[in-house]
């Protein structure tokens, strides 16, 4: 829709249904359940500064999101346990985490994904992050995951074989389970 207005704002608990709808379209059925948002809200909705953001349209739907964890609040995740912490150029306790991001086709090409990332980085810096860890999906369409992260200044430090193996959703991009 040509007249669709899009706005970036901090993520809210009330966004859960829309996050589920959007993530199922982009990532595949079951993705939000694998994120475990029902138990993770206290982490991703940081009370010191907003670190997770959404793109909301004038149609009241979400058209993108950036889900992040503050330093010290993501050690319980498999992503932390499987990360190559010995290669990080900053202390483990200062590591924030870029968990997941997506931008629907309706919002692509407008720089909104990068803006959400920049807002999250600014907030993470304000709350004391010494660095950010993220995991790029190597099979993303056209390598979009790695390109996005590189455009934000991230550098690849290691490849983790079978990183997504414990996720139980049907990838909408390739129609296979990551397992």
Structure tokens at 111: 């720089």
Neighbours of 51 (CB within 10 A): 29
pTM (two decimals) = 0.85
Q: Which helix (H) or strand (E) holds 10?
A: strand 6-10
Tens digit of each residue's pLDDT (9 = 90 or more) over 3-34 = 899 999 999 989 988 998 998 888 777 776 65
* Spatial separation of the C-alpha atoms in residues 68 and 85, rounded to whole Å: 18
Cα 171-158-92 angle, rounded to 5 deg: 100
Tens digit of each residue's pLDDT (9 = 90 or more) over 69-109 = 999 888 777 767 667 888 989 998 999 999 889 899 999 99
Q: Is the CB of residue 65 less than 8 Å from the CB of residue 101?
A: yes
Tens digit of each residue's pLDDT (9 = 90 or more) over 42-78 = 778 877 889 999 999 999 999 999 999 999 888 777 7
């Amino acid at each position: 829709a040509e007249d669709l207005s899009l706005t970036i704002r901090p993520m809210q608990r009330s966004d859960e249904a829309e996050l589920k709808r959007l993530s199922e379209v982009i990532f595949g059925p079951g993705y939000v359940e694998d994120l475990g948002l029902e138990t993770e809200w206290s982490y991703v909705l940081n009370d010191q500064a907003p670190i997770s953001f959404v793109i909301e349209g004038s149609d009241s739907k979400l058209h993108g999101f950036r889900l992040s964890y503050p330093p010290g609040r993501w050690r319980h995740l498999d992503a932390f346990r499987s990360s190559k912490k010995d290669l990080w150029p900053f202390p483990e306790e200062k590591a924030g985490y870029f968990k997941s991001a997506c931008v629907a086709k309706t919002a692509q090409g407008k720089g909104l994904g990068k803006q959400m990332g920049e807002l999250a980085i600014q907030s993470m810096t304000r709350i004391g992050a010494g660095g950010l860890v993220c995991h790029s999906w190597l099979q993303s369409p056209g390598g979009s995951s790695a390109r996005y992260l590189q455009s934000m200044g991230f550098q690849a430090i290691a490849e983790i074989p079978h990183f997504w193996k414990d996720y139980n959703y049907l990838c909408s991009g390739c129609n296979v389970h990551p397992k």
